[in-house]
Structure 1
Amino acid sequence: MGNKDSKEKDKTKMPDPVVVSASAKHTASLIFLHGLGDTGHGWATSIAAIRPPHVKVICPSAAKMPVTLNSGFESPSWFDLLSLDASGPEDEEGIKKAALLINGIIDEEIKSGIPAERIMIGGFSQGGALALYVALTSTRQLGGVVALSCWLPLHKQFVGKPPIGIPCFQAHGDCDPIVPYRWGQMSASMLKQLMSNHNFKTYKGMMHSSSETEMQDMKEFVSTSIP
């Protein structure tokens, strides 16, 4: 994020993102957000392996913060997680703050000459939730959103909103013990109304993780959405 004054840096404490440059002429970017307790390094290699050569991959790392669900222990987290209940309280302020950080990364890409509709955002678990929130609240038409094993945060705020045309690939394992498959299904039925181009895929037997098949499906989605 360059030369912001140090006070600003302390406030967000966001480490530098892991960046994998495009291997051909850079004409599109994919920003992918990790899950709770992980860093950008956790996903950079597998995302780089499936992206088309013209796509630059940016995997930011969340700052450490005390997480309520972790009994208050510090962990890399995009926002606080307060409850394991689909209708439980949410860290609205934290989600909005994290969305500002990610929008800042999108702005940098646009400044560097990549149009918004060639910028895709995605994430896994908590990162997928944040990616959905950013895509749905963005003032720009982004190139697509990938939401793996996650949920739609602050869902009540989207009720009755007109659908947007951003392509969305949402995926969930039906044996997920961390983010229940039912949350994925509930989010999917809402996202279908909020996005005119939404696709939900279920992976049989998959837990809170990814799989070869899911990555291949994601690869196809990325190359079709930001060709």
Structure 2
Amino acid sequence: MCYSFMSFPLVQVIFLHGLGDTGHSWAEAFAGIRIPHVKYICPHAPTMPVSLNMRMSMPSWFDIYGLSPEADEDEIGIKRASENIKALIDQEVKNGIPSHRILLGGFSQGGALSLYTALTTQQKLAGVVALSCWLPLRKSFPQAAANSANKDMHVLQCHGDSDPLVPFVFGSQTSEKLKGLINPANITFKSYRGLPHSACPEEMVDIKRFIEKQLPALVLQV
């Protein structure tokens, strides 16, 4: 008997970009840490007016009214965007990739959406990569996560300690909130000294290691 690694993708990363961006930039970023057996999908957000930016139209998963903890949130938009991501996951499951072999992630607004989606879905996921983000509609938890299939999911949170847009404290507070919603032992929070609202090579290496651990290549007995 011998063993062989499956060479075609049966695992997947769905990664959501931040406000004003597109999926292209993160597709390029993942090309630098590509793992052969993993399929990457970096969808584009719809274009819409964003209150935070004087109602200018730009790619956005939902509206953002402000970045302070007290700011109102676009509850309808967040929930609608989350349902769209769940539908995307359903489509990939129909294409043959089990949901527990799908890892969801995102940066900034996209990371916020990925956390909310994972915590409210009945689709069991491989985990979440949440970069420079926060937990939206945080006051609706833990009730919003009552029917989640991901109470034991693994989460990698990454945040620069010099982030001027989404302050570092938002990330650390989100991490503490998550510990009351899922198994605390499965949450990893990494900080990066001097990093603003962006990613860095060290962070990308950490992301690659997390993906390799949560989405290992399947081994077939031959």
Deviation at 1:173, TM superposition (A): 0.3
How many aligned positions are there?
Answer: 205
Contact kept in structure 2, 1:51 and 1:222, CA below 8 Å: no
Unaligned runs of 5+ in 1: 1-22
Q: d(CA) in 1 for partners of 2:140 and 2:104?
A: 20
Q: d(CA) in 2 for partners of 1:44 and 1:24?
A: 20
What TM-score does the superposition give when structure 1 sets the normalisation length? 0.87
**1:210 partnered with 2:199:** yes
Q: Percent identity?
A: 51
2:169 aligned partner: 182
Unaligned runs of 5+ in 2: 1-5, 217-222
The residue type paired with residue 132 of structure 1 is L
Indicate the structure whose relative CO is greater, using CA pairs within 8 Å and at least 6 residues apart. 2
**1:154 partnered with 2:143:** no
Deviation at 1:205, TM superposition (A): 0.6
Counterpart secondary structure, 2:157: strand
RMSD between aligned residues: 1.4
* Cα distance per residue 1:126-177 (max 9 Å; x no partner): 0000000111011021011000000000011113656801110001000000
Q: d(CA) in 2 for partners of 1:195 and 1:147?
A: 15
Deviation at 1:88, TM superposition (A): 1.7
**1:131 partnered with 2:118:** no
* Cα distance per residue 1:80-125 (max 9 Å; x no partner): 0011211321000000111111111101110011111100000000
* Cα distance per residue 1:61-85 (max 9 Å; x no partner): 0111000000111010000001121
1:16 aligned partner: none
Contact kept in structure 2, 1:51 and 1:223, CA below 8 Å: no
Contact kept in structure 2, 1:164 and 1:195, CA below 8 Å: yes
Contact kept in structure 2, 1:150 and 1:172, CA below 8 Å: yes
The residue type paired with residue 172 of structure 1 is H
Counterpart secondary structure, 2:179: helix
What TM-score does the superposition give when structure 2 sets the normalisation length? 0.89
Residues 11-26 of structure 1 aligned to structure 2 (within 5 Å):
24-26=7-9
Deviation at 1:51, TM superposition (A): 3.5
Deviation at 1:186, TM superposition (A): 0.9
The residue type paired with residue 16 of structure 2 is L
The residue type paired with residue 47 of structure 1 is F
Q: d(CA) in 2 for partners of 1:28 and 1:60?
A: 17
